[in-house]
Amino acid sequence: MIEATVAANRSDLGVSLAGTRWGLALAILVAAFCVSSATPGLAQTATPAASGEGAEPSSPKKDVLTIPIILAREKIDKPLPLSLLDLPPADDGIAGAQLGLKDNNTTGRFVNQEFILDVVEDADPDKLIKDVLAKVEGGAQFVLADVGPDTLVKLADTVAGKDVLIINYGAADDRLREEDCRPQVMHTAPTRAMIADALAQYLVWKKWRRWFLVLGPKKEDKLFADALRRAAKRFGAKIVEERTFAYETGNRRADGGFEQVQQQIPTFTQEAPDYDVLVVADEGNLFGDYLPYRTWDARPVAGTAGLVATSWHPAIEMWGGTQFQNRFKRMANRSMRPLDYNAWMAARIIGEAATRKSSGSYKDLAPFIKSADFELAAFKGVRLTLRDWNGQLRQPVPIVSPKLLVSVSPQLGFLHQFTVLDTLGVDKPETKCAAFTQ
C-alpha cells in the first residue's frame, strides 16, 4: 500500500504534468512509431524511451537526475571473531550504504533526484581498482570505499585529477588522514586516535588512570596500542604495565571451551603492578573477549573488548536513534553495526549535498562538501562537519558496554579553542596532511 501511495505521490509531484502525463506519454509513443516506421535501421538501436517503454504513468524519467554511487569493497580474509554474536554478516557496511541511499531517495522524490548504488567487490585490490576505474570512466563520480589502507591510497592515486570523490568508511588508519592524505578522499570512519582519545577521556573522567595495556600480536593491534599510548599521555593516564598476548589462533571454538581459558587468563594477567583498568588492543576480537571476569585482579576491561569506544552501537536510542535503528532492521533483517553506520553517513553526505546544491555533479558537490557550510545530521545530537585540513568527519564517539550506551565523548571539561569534537584525534596544529588542501 505504501509503495503504491509513493508511486502515486511521485506522479502528483510531477504536479504540473499531472494532467498532461498521459498526453506526453502518448506523444512519445507517436514519435517512436514515426521514427521506427520511417527509419528501420534506427529502430534497432532505439533507446528504451523511443521503443515505447517511456510510457509509464509517473513523471517522465528525463526529469529525474540519476546519481550513481559506487561502493568499492576489498574482500580481506580475516579470522572470525570469538563471539557468535560478532560474526560479520556478508553485507557488513553495504547494508548501511543501502539505507543511506534509501533515505537519499526518500528526499530525492521531492527534488527529482534518484540515487543508485553499484557495489564492486574483489579480493584482488588491483582488479578492484581497475573495476572502479571502469565505472568512473563510465561517468560515476562518487565512491564509498571499504578497502585496506594501501588500496585506498592506490585507488586515490589512480583517479587523481578526475572528477571523483572517495569517501572512506572502513579504514581507521591515522596515516590516511595524515602523511598519506589525498585531496579527493574524505573519511566518515573515526581514526584509531579518535577512538583511543574518546576512551581515554572517559577513563580519565572516571579516575581510572592506571592502565594495564594488553595487546595482540597483529599489526592492527600494535597500531591501536600506539593510539592508546598517545591518548594516555595526552589526557593524563599512566600505563603501569604492558604485555603482549601471543597466542596460537587455533579454531575459535571447540567442543570444550572454557576450561583452558579459565586457567590461562588469570595466569597471564597475574603479578601486574596496581592498576585500575585493563585496556586491550585486539582489533580482530580474537582473544580480548576472554579477558572480562577472568583477570587475576578484579578489574574492568576496556579497549576492543568490555567497554568500547565506537562510532555506533545497535542499542543507541538517543537523539532520535530508535527510528533509525528500526528502519535499518526492517531493511536489513539485522542490527546496525559500526561499519554500516559509517557507510550510511558516507551515502548521506552525497545525498545531503545533492539536495542542497540541486545537482549531482562532482564539480558542484565536492567544493560544497569541503566548505564551512556543509553539515550532516547523523543521530549524534550535534551537526557533523568535515575537518578542513584533512577531510575527516568530526563526530561524538559513543562509549558502550556490550548491551548499552555508557557515555559519549568528548567528555565535559575537555576544552578546545574551536570545537570540543577536535579534542578527539589528531588536531589541526599537529597534522602531517598537506595534500588535502591542494
Partner 1 sequence: MRFKVGCVWTLGVCVALMVSTPAALADTAFVTNEKDNTVSVIDTEKLEVIKTFKVGHRPRGIILSKDAKWLIICVSDDNIIQVYDTRTYEFIKLLPSGPDPELLILHPSGNPLYIANEDDNLVTVVDIEQGKILTDIPVGVEPEGMGMSPDGKVLVNTSETTNMAHFISTETNKTFDNVLVDARPRVAIYNKAGTQLWVSSEIGGTVTVINPADRKIIGKIHFEIPGITREAIQPVGIRITKDDKTAFVALGPANRVAIVNTETLKVEKYLLVGQRVWQLAFTPDDKLLFTTNGTSNDVSVIDVDKQKVIKSIRTGRYPWGVVVAPF
Beta bridge partners of 165: 142
Minimum Å gap between C-beta 275 and partner 1 is 34
Minimum Å gap between C-beta 110 and partner 1 is 5
Q: Which member of 356, 359, 406, 422 binds partner 1 (CB under 8 A)?
A: 356
Q: Which member of 9, 20, 262, 333 binds partner 1 (CB under 8 A)?
A: 9
Binding-site size for partner 1 (CB under 8 A) equals 29
Of 9-17, 295-303, 400-408, 425-433: span binding partner 1 (CB under 8 A): 9-17
Minimum Å gap between C-beta 357 and partner 1 is 11
Minimum Å gap between C-beta 375 and partner 1 is 6
Q: Which member of 110, 160, 162, 428 binds partner 1 (CB under 8 A)?
A: 110
38 part of the interface to partner 1, by CB under 8 A: no
Minimum Å gap between C-beta 316 and partner 1 is 15
5 part of the interface to partner 1, by CB under 8 A: yes
Q: Which is nearer to partner 1, 70 or 369 (CB)?
A: 369
315 part of the interface to partner 1, by CB under 8 A: no
372 part of the interface to partner 1, by CB under 8 A: no
Q: Which member of 27, 377, 404, 434 binds partner 1 (CB under 8 A)?
A: 377
20 part of the interface to partner 1, by CB under 8 A: no
In b/e form, how buried is each residue of 386-406, taking b as 16+ CB within 10 angstroms? bbebbbbbbbbbbbbeeeeee
63 part of the interface to partner 1, by CB under 8 A: no
Q: Which member of 327, 331, 389, 435 binds partner 1 (CB under 8 A)?
A: 327
420 part of the interface to partner 1, by CB under 8 A: yes
Q: Which member of 61, 78, 127, 383 binds partner 1 (CB under 8 A)?
A: 383
Cα separation values, 19 from 9, 31, 407, Å: 14, 20, 55
Q: Which is nearer to partner 1, 73 or 394 (CB)?
A: 394
371 part of the interface to partner 1, by CB under 8 A: no
Q: Which member of 240, 331, 382, 405 binds partner 1 (CB under 8 A)?
A: 382
Q: Which member of 107, 158, 244, 335 binds partner 1 (CB under 8 A)?
A: 107
- Residues lying near partner 1 in the complex (CB under 8 A) are found at 1-2, 5-6, 9, 12-13, 15, 103, 106-107, 110-111, 320, 322-324, 326-327, 352, 355-356, 375-377, 382-383, 419-420
